[in-house]
Amino acid sequence: MKSTFKYIAGLILALTFITGCTQWPTEKQSISDLRPGISFKAQNIALLDGRVVLDGLDMGQAKDYQEGIAMMRVLPGPHMLNVTFNGQKLLDEKIFTSDGVNQTFLLQ
CATH at residue 88: 2.60.40.1120
Looking at the 3D structure of the chain, how many domains does it have?
1
pLDDT averaged over every residue in the chain: 87
**What's the residue count for the chain?**
108
Residue 27: per-residue pLDDT: 76
pLDDT tens by residue, 18-64: 655 556 677 777 777 889 999 999 989 999 999 999 999 999 999 99
DSSP 45-72: GGGGGSEEEETTEEEEEGGGGBTTT--E
pLDDT over 70 at 2, yes or no: no
In a domain, 101, yes or no: yes
* Domain annotation covers residue 61: yes
Q: What is the mean pLDDT of residues 78-84?
A: 97
Residue 31 belongs to some domain of the structure: no
Flag whether 53 is in a domain.
Answer: yes
Least Cα distance to 108 among 38, 40, 43 occurs for 43
Q: Which domain holds residue 53?
A: 37-107
Q: What is the pLDDT of residue 1?
A: 61
